[in-house]
Amino acid sequence: MFSDSAFLALFLVGLLGGTHCVGMCGGIVGALSLGAPARWSMHLAYNAGRIISYATAGAIAGALGAASLLLDGQAPVRLILYLLANLMLVALGLYLLGVSRALAFSERAGQKLWRHIQPLTRRFLPARTLAQAFPLGLLWGWLPCGLVYGALATALSAGSAERGALMMLSFGLGTLPNLLLAGILLARLNEFVRLPAVRIFSGALVLGFGLYGLLGVMRLLGWV
């Protein structure tokens, strides 16, 4: 149901939203570098777990979206999902352009779930082995995050669990460079993603995807 441009859009959101990602997960990522001789493998294990959780959430969102289309009068449901997905792309684009509060409302919605998950993370801290880093990443992937929720709202319109998972996989891979290189090459990478031209181009591109989708909704409604 959703165009393939969403994959690129979500990858860019993950990549250019790196400062936000490091702010949310930077403490855990930094802790993985302390006293761990196999540093790269620890980071890879943690991030693999985190991205798997994103893909799992995307599969759930995609399946829920697909199931809703089985209801009577699916055309309005399809339209609502498509509208929601493109509104969230607009919000994600505005975030990349510097409107930092564009997604704040969504993070409050996930606090209740995180209160149940967060205590489980203590079992794996401090993470000194791969067997601790991987499940820590699985759990940390459910941390309330406006970027993640915006991407998930887009995955609702994927049309299937598989496409929903792939959409969130694209987003997760976009976040990987910032978190994998945190504390190593992060300063240089942050300099790049903070360049006004880079953020304006990427934000405008994601915003354009969302606005183009909203134009499609208006055409379906006969407004244009």
**pLDDT (mean) for 96-123:** 79
pLDDT confidence bin for 169, thresholds 50/70/90: very high
- Residue 54's alpha-carbon distances to 14, 75, 145, 154, 216, in angstroms, are 12, 28, 11, 13, 28
The 10 Å CB-count burial string (b at 16+, else e) for 26-61 is bebbebbeeebeeeeebbbbbbbbbbbbbbbbbbbb
pLDDT of 49 = 95
pTM: 0.77
pLDDT of 215 = 76
Residue 191 has pLDDT above 70, yes or no: no
pLDDT of 187 = 45
pLDDT confidence bin for 183, thresholds 50/70/90: very low
pLDDT confidence bin for 193, thresholds 50/70/90: low
Residue 146 vs residue 24, higher pLDDT: 146
Burial of residue 175 (CB within 10 Å: 0-12, 13-18, 19+) is buried
pLDDT of 27 = 61
List alpha helices for 99-145, DSSP H.
104-109, 111-121, 130-140
Q: Are 57 and 168 in contact (CB under 8 A)?
A: yes
Closest C-alpha to 146, from 24, 8, 61: 24
Closest C-alpha to 26, from 182, 175, 142, 138: 182
pLDDT of 14 = 86
Domain boundaries, the chain: 5-220
Strand ranges inside the chain, DSSP E: none
Token output for 205: 């591109």
Per-residue pLDDT tens over the stretch 17-75: 766 565 566 566 666 655 444 467 888 899 999 999 999 999 999 998 888 776 655 55
Give CA–CA dist 34/152, Å, rounded.
32
Amino acid at 124: F
Amino acid at 189: L
